[in-house]
Chains A and B, each alone.
Chain A
Amino acid sequence: MNATIGLDEQIGQWRTYVARRPAISADDLDELENHLRDQVGDLQEAGLADDEAFLIAVKRIGRLDEVSREFAREHSERLWKQLVLSGDDSGQPRRRTLPVALALAVGAGLAVKLPALFGLTMADASFYVLNASLLVLPFLAAYFAWERRMGWTRGLALLVPPFLIGAVVANAYPLVEGGVMQILVVIHLPVFLWFAVGLAYTAGHWRSAQGRMDFVRFTGEWLIYYTLIALGGMVLMGLAFAGFQAIAVNVDSVLGQWVLPIGAAGAVIVAAWLVETKQSVVENIAPVLTAVFTPLTTLLLLVYLVALLSRGDLVNVDRELLILADLILVLVFGLLLYAISARDPQRPPAWFDGMQMVLVGAALAIDVVVLVAMAGRIAEFGASPNKVTALGLNLILLVNLGWSAWLGLGFLRGRRGFAALEHWQTTYLPVFAVWAALVAVGMPLVFGWG
């Protein structure tokens, strides 16, 4: 009897030890423990003593480092936080990231104020809307390049060209102020540069599907952290404003000209640092929000589809509808992407996956209705930059969601693994980068500056 207790204790200790490996989940551990116990049982039957049997069984499981690395290779989604956090396996010492992050945050804040030396104030809206991402994102890219140890030559070779191109587009293109083309560049340039940050985030390994998915996860979490910081900052600014006003001190210009722009720029880097560092502490938020909003959005889209169809005469709709359809597709794409990025690919299909396909289906149906209704008018409009952009984005999202729906249906019917869907999304990601670059860089060259 005594001996059995000893064995259970030993197995318990082994469990605790293995459980420290983040790549091995509780279920995997159950599976491995089962294996261990079966093996011990067989060895005991062969006449071995408990502790002998245990030792041999543990040895046969294999070296824990290698086994856990194999698990990590298969289940990297469990690991992305730890991997980006410390790089335990690399054998390199952990670096203190906070001072560097803070220094770069201050740098980004000062960079935003740098144009003031040349007489540009915050009132020069058209300069700032074009250049905001150019002033701030290089610092974020620099942070990742440093943190991922990209090295100077490699880092500069990869990261300087996109930002240089961005600078040319924003400042050398004679864009008409407030014109359509300027608006298109303002929207697409930050997206293009964000992908440049992705180059640094993946340490230049942008071809790796895993790296791309990690960057998607990072983007979602970063947006949430940034929003939270912005909300907190706004509350604080409001308090400061009211407080100083109460004692008749005017701080309008200090807050508006200094605190707000520097804070907004610095928060970009701070939010990124938080995402990187606090991931293992807090559960990811983006997937949770996705889970909340998927059913609501599905309902909304279904109702809207019915309303759209019952209108009957869609001939008189204007192009706003096309942009609306684009926004719906972007939203659905985002919900789908984040649900995919957070999903354990092992889990069998569940109701949520079905709901997601309904969501995608509804979005596709709406889009088709809009496209059909506008088919005639689109030809009539002629090719203006607005229309080309709206239609191009529509097409890109249509292809993405259409194929996702096809893969998703295969998964629901058990004919395909979930990995196919994940693989499709990571493969497709560069299409968005190329599109953003095409619109920001190429469109003004083709359609003029107006």
Chain B
Amino acid sequence: MHIDKDLVAASATPLVLGILEEGDSYGYAILKRVKQLSSGQMVWTDGMLYPLLHRLERLGFVRARWDVADNGRRRKHYSITSLGRDALTERRKQWDVVSEAMRRLQFDAIAVLRLGVA
């Protein structure tokens, strides 16, 4: 299923923050986790993740540090800050409202159909 670009953009921030809430991570691992969580349905343009991470860093939602990975390469790790947790809680609430509204809409539609049949 192709997921609309705007929807991907809107969900990117809470998804990344949520993944970082599970534990510190780095770019490639975050993308793998997104694929896993969406059963491969959400595919991002990989390069776009990094400007997003940097924006979250600038806003103070995440903190970054360079570590040396097992293979000897430098790797930039991100961790969520308390400010980021607050933002995530807020976003979650917003998403709940939206998805609840969508769900109700579906139920109502089904109810209307049934009435029509009866």
Binding site for B on A (CB under 8 A): 27-28, 30-32, 34-35, 37-39, 60-64, 66-67, 70-71, 73-75, 345-346, 348, 414-420
Interface residue stretch chosen among B69-77, B96-104, B109-117 = B69-77
- Residues from chain B with Cβ under 8 Å of A71 in the complex: 50-51, 54
Report if B81 contacts A (CB, 8 A). yes
Q: How far is the CA of A73 from the CA of B51 in the complex (A)?
A: 8
Min C-beta distance of B76 to chain A, whole Å: 5
| Inter-subunit contact B46/A60 (CB<8 Å) | yes
B59 interface neighbour in A66, A67, A419, Cβ under 8 Å: A419
Q: How far is the CA of A420 from the CA of B60 in the complex (A)?
A: 10
| Inter-subunit contact A34/B58 (CB<8 Å) | no
| Inter-subunit contact B45/A61 (CB<8 Å) | yes
Min C-beta distance of B9 to chain A, whole Å: 11
| Inter-subunit contact B27/A74 (CB<8 Å) | no
B45 interface neighbour in A34, A37, A67, A73, Cβ under 8 Å: A67
Q: How far is the CA of A67 from the CA of B82 in the complex (A)?
A: 29
- Mark interface residues in B60-71 (1 if CB within 8 Å of A CB, else 0): 110110000100
| Inter-subunit contact B45/A74 (CB<8 Å) | no
| CB-CB nearest in chain B for A417 | B60
| Inter-subunit contact A62/B73 (CB<8 Å) | no
**Looking at chain B, what size class is its interface with the partner chain?**
20 to 34
Min C-beta distance of B79 to chain A, whole Å: 12
| Inter-subunit contact A75/B54 (CB<8 Å) | yes
Report if B3 contacts A (CB, 8 A). no
| Inter-subunit contact B58/A418 (CB<8 Å) | yes
- Residues from chain A with Cβ under 8 Å of B45 in the complex: 60-63, 66-67
Top-10 shortest CB links A-B: A417-B60, A67-B47, A62-B45, A62-B47, A38-B28, A70-B51, A61-B47, A74-B51, A60-B46, A35-B28
Please count the residue pairs between chain A and chain B whose beta carbons lie under 8 angstroms apart in the complex: 82
B50 interface neighbour in A31, A60, A66, A416, Cβ under 8 Å: A31
Give residues of chain B (1-59) contacting chain A, Cβ–Cβ below 8 Å: 26-28, 45-48, 50-51, 54-55, 57-59
- Residues from chain A with Cβ under 8 Å of B64 in the complex: 346
Report if B105 contacts A (CB, 8 A). no
Min C-beta distance of B105 to chain A, whole Å: 33
| CB-CB nearest in chain A for B31 | A35
A-B contact pairs, 27 of them (CB 8 A): A31-B27, A31-B50, A31-B76, A32-B47, A32-B50, A34-B69, A34-B74, A39-B46, A60-B45, A61-B46, A64-B47, A67-B45, A67-B47, A67-B48, A67-B51, A70-B47, A70-B48, A71-B51, A75-B54, A346-B58, A348-B63, A415-B60, A415-B82, A416-B83, A417-B61, A418-B58, A419-B60
| Inter-subunit contact A34/B83 (CB<8 Å) | no
| Inter-subunit contact A74/B58 (CB<8 Å) | yes
| Inter-subunit contact A74/B73 (CB<8 Å) | no
| Inter-subunit contact A345/B28 (CB<8 Å) | no
- Residues from chain A with Cβ under 8 Å of B81 in the complex: 414
| CB-CB nearest in chain B for A33 | B73
- Residues from chain A with Cβ under 8 Å of B28 in the complex: 34-35, 38-39
Interface centre among A37, A38, A67, A418 (most CB of B within 10 A): A38
- Residues from chain A with Cβ under 8 Å of B47 in the complex: 32, 61-62, 64, 66-67, 70
| CB-CB nearest in chain B for A414 | B81
Given A34-B75, A35-B46, A60-B45, residue A345 in contact with residue B58 (CB < 8 A): yes
| Inter-subunit contact B55/A74 (CB<8 Å) | yes
- Residues from chain B with Cβ under 8 Å of A64 in the complex: 47
- Residues from chain B with Cβ under 8 Å of A35 in the complex: 27-28, 46, 50
Q: How far is the CA of A30 from the CA of B55 in the complex (A)?
A: 18
A30 interface neighbour in B48, B60, B74, B83, Cβ under 8 Å: B74
Q: How far is the CA of A284 from the CA of B57 in the complex (A)?
A: 25
- Residues from chain A with Cβ under 8 Å of B63 in the complex: 348, 414
Min C-beta distance of B51 to chain A, whole Å: 4
| Inter-subunit contact A37/B50 (CB<8 Å) | no
| CB-CB nearest in chain A for B82 | A415
Min C-beta distance of B56 to chain A, whole Å: 9
| Inter-subunit contact A28/B58 (CB<8 Å) | no
Q: How far is the CA of A400 from the CA of B104 in the complex (A)?
A: 49
Given A417-B59, A419-B58, residue A34 in contact with residue B73 (CB < 8 A): yes
With A415-B83, A417-B83 known, 13 other A-B pairs at CB within 8 A are A27-B76, A28-B54, A31-B27, A34-B26, A61-B46, A66-B47, A70-B47, A70-B51, A71-B54, A74-B54, A74-B55, A417-B57, A420-B60
